[in-house]
Structure 1
Amino acid sequence: MNRNQQHLTMPEIPMPGGYRSLPVLGFGTSANLPVGPEIVTTAVLQAIELGYRHFDTASLYNSEQPLGEAIVEAINSGLVQSRGQLFITSKLWCRDAHPQHVLPALKKSLQNLKMDYIDLYLIHWPVSSKPGIHEYPIKKEDLLPMDFKSVWAAMEECQKLGLTKSIGVSNFSCKKLADLLAIGKIPPAVNQVEVSPCWQQKKLREFCKSNGVLVVAYSPLGSIGTRVMENEVLKEIAKAKGKTVAQVALRWGYEQGIGVVVKSYNKERMKQNLEIFDWSLSDDECRKISEIPQSRASLGKDFTSPYGPYKTIEELWDGEL
């Protein structure tokens, strides 16, 4: 075990359904601007060395293959002892969100990752698109309503086969989650959604908690735009505590009892993002954060279309804006 691993034991949150715990701080591999696979591989190896144990990918990100290569290298070089020490999340893209394509899509992800199973498989967005067509953004005329019942049944089959240990969703509103909970045999373990001090999702978090669904936050630093990093309340708290704004935002997420996926390929920032576990926010600081004006940054406009199934962002989010 190297010295970095000795000083950080990553806190974990129990996963619904009794499967293993989720390392609370995940390392995200999506990129707003495309990066070469070697950059992803290097960053993942650095992240493992620093103590990250949860890695988040998706077929859309084109990062499954370099992530898989980095993990093979990490095991071979002794950075981790086994695959079982890592928690891997991937996601089903819209074009594969059809009952007959779910299992082949997961098998393709496993092939890319060089793994026999992943820990968590998520429906990426609550919308399907024409099968076989891989492009982003999706053409408006190619967006299709998802057959939630049959797609979820196919996700359940993936779990029963042991190809994923848990299944869940991403970007689901309270209403869509309630609909899924009503029809599924296996409830979703996770809903991965945008959560940050500037979009705290109190209603959704309460709904998920009362229904045994773990919330995992993406864009915890407001990576779409810089609203979190430029927020005066967070800047003031960070200055008073001798911390960075990012550390304050991540600590806030951790204190909410949710999982957090953070994304940085800069080694120093990756290290700073882990330095949130040996201090806490005061009641007064939490109150100030709770009063920050709220607005969603990830609007999902790319998943709306005049042809449907969601013509407006209000329809996509069921008014949760």
Structure 2
Amino acid sequence: ASILSAADFSISLTRIAGAIFEDDSIIDLEEIPEVIEFYSATILEPLDDGKIAYNIQLFPREPEFKEFLPTEEIIIKMDEVRMLWGFRFRPTIETFGGVAMRFAEWFYATKFIENELEKGDIFVRDGSLQTGYKDEILLVKDLHSMAQEKNVYITGLSKSCRLITKNGDSLISLIDMIASEKYPKEKWYYHPIYKMTKADNLADVYFVKLHKEARSPFRFDIFLDQSNKLSQQEKEVIITNLASNSNALSFPGYPYGLIKVDQLSRVGKREMEPQKIQILSEFDPNIYEKYILPRIRSIDAHDLLNAIRKN
């Protein structure tokens, strides 16, 4: 969540969480924190070749969180951003608080598997197994290595899916429409959709409806190297285990564990203003007046108009 930003800098607060469920019961973590928190500060930095990069610095809120963060600095060149996303114009700098979160999630996941999971356990990421940035791919390779060493299955469940057909239709919506007619009020999965085999996106992709009352199916990824070694029956066991953990009345068809993690990691709107005040109080008064305040004022006209409208 972005706390403070201008055109050329951004400060965000991020929480990352993990939870273990077994037979519908939550199990306390033994070795690593259930939640870690950190600030990320992103600035635009000129490079020696005259180009610009995003410099993202990570600052743990507690000293003990440091070992669960990937690095103190992430450098992403503007060329890499444009090549990946096709941005014709520079993305807003607040976007890179989310990049810091992704890097930290992969690193925390590796620690989570290493210290908390055992052979045959299923790790479910909140989101797909796709990656993007060069250094992010290296973190995911570490995760894959750890999972293979401990014989833990890596999967990912996405709350949203933007895959489309050749005709431009939503792929998951079409599959849902067909399945709802053929299997009304039933759980189901659809496969194969496609396999991502690029070095940075190794996943076998499914669509799954994990509860008969679920309002929609989800995209479900299984790490491709593991999927290729499993029989279809073994893959169905993974999906069945996930479905048995997806009976919450508040959100049928969505795993308890991911609901719990969302609750633990969410940064509420009520927290934002106190966090902003705390951050601003840390600046030297002269630096604040000369450098920070003019930058904030350069983009806060909308906030001022909103305040006038409320009054």
User: Which range, TM-score by smaller chain?
Assistant: under 0.3
Which structure: greater strand fraction? 2
Using the size of structure 2 for normalisation, the TM-score is: 0.26
Using the size of structure 1 for normalisation, the TM-score is: 0.26
Q: Whose radius of gyration is greater, 1 or 2?
A: 2
